A and B are shown apart, each in its own frame.
Chain A
């Protein structure tokens, strides 16, 4: 089973990297771009047959290590 975790800074936390990318896109002529957020994706294989149990496990990984919930939110996909 493959787990995919997307981690982004929470709304309200200034994403300076997103801001820099947004400015670059504007500079290249994409003036309709706004609210760019740069996050990260962590992917891994996970042993075990039960997707529901796996998702719970991945959630614990997020809360323990993969995300800092003071500043970040996360989204989990298990397939």
Chain B
């Protein structure tokens, strides 16, 4: 498997993502600077990492979504390449329109950083099949603006299309419908607030994040 992690100015989980994908899957992982106008050839996976791209100025992910490299990420997504956006990466995917909705300030106005229980709503996606018969996973969240929001029509559509992949068992931030992770209708673009890259080895408290990356080996 061949993967790339996009590095925006202000990304701070880019190295974590590289190590997590490498150790979970054995993939070779390139780091791609946001100003690049081409991606490495033959990618199976593109990761948009967590952090504070562009200092979270204006809105989380807003300026990153307009980075030169995102034109290429969009093209790759249209070709069916797997794209996963984690935390700030999820915000970038929503800002870019690759996923519906937006992420708002947490309902309690607090930065939330802790392991959370997730219900695996869609165990049949490219990103979750390695969870097998499991319907629960533990991953760490770390966000101040992680409350998923979409207007009522969009939310109904998203639920109707089965785009919710993960829900919080105990909602930590006020996300509508307890949504923790969403997939596009094409099934190849996933955004989630919890960090599989901080939960990929038992020493980190949970190894469940590794299963997310390993799921992709089956289609690589």
Contact = CB atoms under 8 A, between A and B. Distances in A.
Bin chain A's interface residue count. 10 to 19
Nearest to B110: A16
A46 interface: no
B149 A65 contact: no
**Interface residues of B, dominant DSSP:** loop
Interface string B55-73: 0001100110010000000
A67 to B, nearest CB: 9
Contacts of B109: 16-17, 20
A65 B104 contact: no
A25 B106 CA distance: 21
A14 B95 contact: no
Interface string B71-105: 00000000000000000000000110000111011
A64 interface: yes
A70 B101 contact: yes
B106 A13 contact: no
A14 B104 contact: yes
Contacts of B151: 12, 70
B66 A16 contact: no
A64 B96 CA distance: 10
Interface residues of B, number: 21
A16 B59 contact: no
B146 interface: no
A17 B58 CA distance: 15
Given A16-B174, A17-B105, 14 more contacts: A12-B151, A13-B149, A14-B104, A14-B174, A16-B104, A17-B109, A20-B109, A65-B66, A68-B62, A68-B102, A70-B94, A70-B149, A70-B154, A71-B104
10 contacts: A14-B104, A16-B105, A65-B58, A65-B62, A68-B59, A68-B62, A68-B95, A70-B100, A70-B101, A70-B154
Interface of B: 58-59, 62-63, 66, 94-95, 100-102, 104-109, 149-151, 154, 174
